[in-house]
């Protein structure tokens, strides 16, 4: 089976006001099979969004992109804009954090979804497209779909608007759904409902998904595999279970510690410090200034992503081998 999405050595550079170039994405290899869910996790600024924007050609002008990103074997990097527009919104659906910005506030939501449909399928009448919008509302569990498709974005609550955006992303039956922090702006209860919805869609429609989040808890129950990113690199990669139960990278361990504990104490463990700027990256491993396990080599050499224990990990002193050493 050929992968649905595969990136190889994907790199992105930006230039600052002084004309200095810096790498924001430093060679990212990801792979997703049809129907699989990949969670990309990391704190703000780790390069999660730009990686996905690069393959949809949504980065601002002036960004330098290199490497490869193939969707069903077709190279997306450097694809002519007209062809990428064809893919976007048809074979690849997108959902972002802020659904208000995705909708035009002066048009009825149903009309906007119908337009997204007729744009890619010119043989469909407006009336049939509206019927399809209604069916999609039903699919994403928006109550009273026939009434709701005639309403404007401001008449929807945050959670309902996010459902409507997911409906729009599904309008042309995509094979891949990219959801960038789809639940971040929502309160906890609504967040859980949207995640349930994504889980159901994945099960019922067999859509492949890339789910981007800063919250490992969000991907825990839905992703098949996880890529943990830090400072523009993947620092750990593996199945969801392996990343959780055979954690090799101290950063992933920190993120798992940052997940609210389920024992009711409400305690949060945090990683001290803040992520680096791309123009002022620490030497060696970017995470070393914040790492409680740091040793001399970490300041000197950037670790490669390689197979360690159950996961792939970019760390000179991964936790799994450390445990083994203690056991000896
Ligand atoms: N247009 C831009 N110009 C310069 N730097 C940028 C630009 N867009 C993003 N970056 C930098 O790229 C890095 C990754 O950003 P992003 O992918 O948005 O992070 P994430 O989604 O993980 O929070 C950040 O350090 C950010 O400052
Ligand atoms: Mg982001």
Q: DSSP states of 287-328 as a string?
A: TGGG-TT--HHHHH-PPP-EEETTEEE--SS-HHHHHHHHH-
Instruction: Give the Å distance between the CA of 82 and the centre of ligand 1.
Output: 25
Whether residue 93 has its Cβ less than 6 Å from ligand 1: no
Cα 226 from chain centroid (whole Å): 10
* 38 within 8 A of 226, measured Cβ to Cβ: yes
Helices (H), 5-150: 48-55, 81-87, 99-102, 109-120, 126-139, 145-148
Contact 136, 171 (CB under 8 A): yes
Protein residue closest via CA to atom 10 of ligand 1: 24
Q: For the structural domain made of 5-91+178-190+201-327, what CATH number should be given? A: 3.40.50.300
Distance from Cα 295 to the centre of ligand 2, integer Å:
30
Q: Dihedrals φ, ψ of 205, to 5°?
A: -105, -15
Nearest Cα to Cα of residue 195 among 219, 177, 171: 219
Q: Is the CB of 46 under 6 A from ligand 1?
A: yes
Nearest to 97 by CA among 165, 32, 34, 38: 165
Q: How many residues does the chain have?
A: 328
| Domain edges within the chain | 5-91+178-190+201-327, 104-173
Q: What's the rounded Cα separation, in Å, for the pair 216 and 244?
A: 9
CA of 148 to the centre of ligand 1 (A): 36
310: closest CA among 248, 254, 257, 255?
Answer: 248
Question: Which residue among 14, 56, 218 has the greatest number of ligand 1 atoms within 8 angstroms of its CB, and so is best to mutate?
Answer: 14
For 61, half-sphere exposure in the C-beta direction (CA atoms, 13 angstrom radius) is: 1
Q: Which ligand is nearest to the CA of 44?
A: 1
Q: Which of 10, 20, 47, 282 to mutate to test the pocket of ligand 1 (most atoms within 8 A of CB)?
A: 47
Is the minimum distance from the CB of 50 to ligand 1 under 6 angstroms?
Answer: yes
| pLDDT by 10s per residue, the chain, length 328 | 789 999 999 999 999 999 999 999 999 999 999 999 999 999 999 999 999 999 999 999 999 999 999 999 999 999 999 999 999 989 999 998 877 778 999 999 999 999 999 998 889 999 999 999 999 999 999 999 999 999 999 999 999 999 999 999 999 999 999 999 998 888 888 888 899 999 998 999 999 999 999 999 889 989 999 999 999 999 999 999 999 999 999 999 999 886 555 555 555 567 888 999 999 999 999 999 999 889 999 999 999 999 998 999 999 999 887 655 555 5
């Amino acid at each position: 089976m050929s992968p649905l999405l595969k990136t190889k050595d994907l790199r992105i550079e930006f230039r600052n006001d002084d004309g200095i170039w810096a790498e924001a994405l430093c060679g990212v290899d990801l792979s997703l099979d049809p129907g699989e869910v990949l969670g990309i996790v990391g704190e703000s600024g780790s390069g999660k969004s730009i990686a996905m924007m690069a393959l949809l050609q949504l980065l601002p002008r002036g960004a330098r992109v290199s490497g490869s990103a193939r969707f069903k074997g077709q190279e997306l990097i450097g694809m002519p804009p007209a062809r990428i527009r064809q893919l976007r919104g048809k074979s690849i659906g997108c959902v972002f954090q802020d659904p208000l910005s995705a909708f035009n506030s002066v048009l009825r939501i149903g009309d906007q979804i119908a337009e997204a449909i007729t744009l890619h399928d010119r043989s469909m009448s407006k009336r049939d497209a509206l019927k399809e919008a209604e069916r999609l509302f039903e699919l994403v569990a928006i109550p009273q779909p026939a009434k709701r498709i005639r309403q404007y974005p401001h008449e929807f609550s945050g959670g309902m608007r996010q459902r409507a955006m997911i409906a729009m992303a599904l309008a042309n039956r995509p094979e891949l759904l990219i959801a960038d922090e789809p639940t971040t702006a929502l309160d906890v209860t609504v967040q859980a409902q949207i995640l349930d919805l994504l889980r159901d869609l994945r099960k019922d429609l067999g859509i492949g998904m890339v789910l981007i989040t800063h919250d490992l808890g969000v991907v825990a129950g839905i992703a098949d595999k996880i890529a943990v990113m830090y400072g523009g690199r993947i620092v750990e990669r593996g199945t969801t279970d392996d990343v959780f139960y055979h954690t090799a990278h101290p950063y992933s361990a920190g993120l798992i510690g940052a997940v609210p504990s389920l024992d009711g104490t409400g305690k949060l463990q945090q990683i001290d410090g803040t992520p680096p700027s791309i123009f002022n990256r620490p030497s060696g491993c970017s995470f070393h200034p914040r790492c409680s396990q740091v040793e001399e080599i970490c300041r000197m050499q950037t670790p490669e992503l390689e197979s360690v224990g159950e996961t792939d990990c970019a760390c000179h002193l991964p936790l799994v081998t450390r445990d083994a050493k203690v056991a000896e």
